[in-house]
Amino acid sequence: MQKVDVQLGERSYSISISDNFDLLAPALAQKKQVVVISNPTVAPLYLDAVRQLFPHSAVQHFLLPDGEAYKTLQSFEQVLSFLLQQQMSRDVLLVALGGGVIGDLTGFVAACYQRGVAFVQIPTTLLSQVDSSVGGKTAVNHALGKNMIGAFKQPAQVVINTAVLTTLPAREFAAGMAEVIKYGLIADATFFRWLEQHQQQINQLDDAILAQMIRHCCQMKADIVSRDETEQGDRALLNLGHTFGHAIEAWLGYGNWLHGEAVAAGMVMAAKVSVARGWLSEAELAQICRLLRAFNLPVEPPAEMQIDDFMPYMKTDKKVQNGQMRFVLPTAFGKTALVDDVTEQELIGIFH
């Protein structure tokens, strides 16, 4: 078992990493009202095991359809209606059993139901284990932008079971690796090289290597969140590739490209801007593309998208400040900065 602590004063919590679900904090296991939010893909595999974590509760569950297309206000309302129909009190514990969609939506419900109830993240995709389950960002999508409606709501605990990755489709695993590689690019060139050295074991789902990799990512994110919970500074750097990536997801229609796939292409686009500015070399750009390709991730945006297709989404990105677009760009290998002077001409340049 490995453990990472997210230090946020009264809202502090632990991330427990092992090869089972049995690390739930005793106080949470005592809860009398428990509702598991999941989907029809994950529930048949793991719902029964999660139910057994709560011996004092007749655990109820609510299943949402699987996929990014269902991370909506309509789904949010459906879960709230279920909780009200079941007369759940403010003592209810919500359990997010699934990937990033389930985690984000459950957290947003937890932030709003009766002005706030406790929830636990049990992430079942690599992407949610290394990124979205940690840090308390919760949201739903809107046709005009991804994650534009939400709240900061920290979980009571994150329980990561690495064994679930053996049932994860290869494409979903690859999408998670985009967020893993992101950590190396934003702040840790040594970790990037470690990923290059261990790509074969990672692709073979080596238990020890996966646990080490997930713990490192969680620790990096926990450190950043502890310093900047509501994204006033450093935390924005975690959005490397996301300004471009969110535009790809929204323009194509949510779910056509997986989040990690869009982020992978977005990171390369950001790196190309940095190459044009002289911050990264062409060799370093090639190194980034090589590692992404090693995990079957795209390194180009959809062929049918041009800069004019990106602009409306990037202009409503959450990092926009006083009407000015801001981008997270690599300033050196393993270092990033939030930049507010990227010109439209520079953006056009990455398409040639």
One domain for residues 158 and 231: no
Q: What is the pLDDT averaged over residues 317-327?
A: 82
The predicted structure's pLDDT at residue 319:
81
One domain for residues 239 and 268: yes
The predicted structure's pLDDT at residue 291:
98
Render pLDDT for 189-199 as a digit per residue (tens, 0 to 9): 999 999 999 99
The predicted structure's pLDDT at residue 316:
81
Confidence band (pLDDT; 50, 70, 90) for 233?
confident
The predicted structure's pLDDT at residue 154:
97
- The contacts of residue 140 (CB under 8 Å, 6+ apart) are 71, 72, 73, 75, 76, 104, 105, 108, 147, 149, 150
Model confidence at 323: pLDDT above 80:
no
Q: What is the pLDDT averaged over residues 150-156?
A: 97
Render pLDDT for 79-90 as a digit per residue (tens, 0 to 9): 999 999 999 999
One domain for residues 78 and 196: no
Which residue type occupies 152? F
Mean pLDDT for all residues in the chain:
94
248 or 316: which carries more pLDDT confidence?
Answer: 248
Over pLDDT 90: what percentage of the chain?
90
The predicted structure's pLDDT at residue 232:
82
Please give the Cα distance from 273 to 187 (Å, whole number). Answer: 18
One domain for residues 86 and 208: no
Helices H, strands E: what count in the chain? 14, 11
Confidence band (pLDDT; 50, 70, 90) for 244?
very high
The predicted structure's pLDDT at residue 324:
85
Model confidence at 104: pLDDT above 80:
yes
Domain with residue 288: its CATH number is: 1.20.1090.10
Confidence band (pLDDT; 50, 70, 90) for 255?
confident
Please give the Cα distance from 4 to 180 (Å, whole number). Answer: 16
One domain for residues 175 and 152: no
Domain boundary among 113, 141, 164: 164
Please give the Cα distance from 33 to 336 (Å, whole number). Answer: 44
One domain for residues 95 and 199: no
> Range of 187's domain?
170-349
One domain for residues 334 and 232: yes
Domain boundary among 164, 184, 199: 164
Going from the C-alpha of 5 to that of each of 16, 134, 156, 216, 339, the distances in angstroms are 9, 10, 11, 12, 30
Render pLDDT for 136-148 as a digit per residue (tens, 0 to 9): 999 999 988 889 9
Render pLDDT for 42-70 as a digit per residue (tens, 0 to 9): 999 999 999 999 999 999 999 999 999 99
Nearest to 122, CA basis, from 68, 80, 164, 91: 164
Please give the Cα distance from 119 to 142 (Å, whole number). Answer: 23
Task: Tell me the catalytic residues.
Answer: 115, 137, 179, 221, 231, 235, 239, 242, 246, 259
The DSSP string of 272-288 is HHHHHTTSS-HHHHHHH
One domain for residues 160 and 175: no
Domain boundary among 164, 195, 212: 164
One domain for residues 144 and 190: no
Among the ranges given (22-36, 125-139, 213-227, 308-322), the one the predictor scored with the smallest mean pLDDT = 308-322
Please give the Cα distance from 131 to 182 (Å, whole number). Answer: 10
The single residue listed with the structure tokens 């809202």 is 11
Model confidence at 322: pLDDT above 80:
no
One domain for residues 176 and 155: no
- The contacts of residue 56 (CB under 8 Å, 6+ apart) are 29, 30, 31, 32
One domain for residues 120 and 175: no
One domain for residues 310 and 178: yes
The predicted structure's pLDDT at residue 315:
87
- Structural domains of the chain, count: 2
- The contacts of residue 279 (CB under 8 Å, 6+ apart) are 329, 330, 331, 332
The predicted structure's pLDDT at residue 320:
81
The predicted structure's pLDDT at residue 294:
97
Q: What share of the chain is helix, strand, coil (3-state, %, to 5)?
A: 50, 20, 30
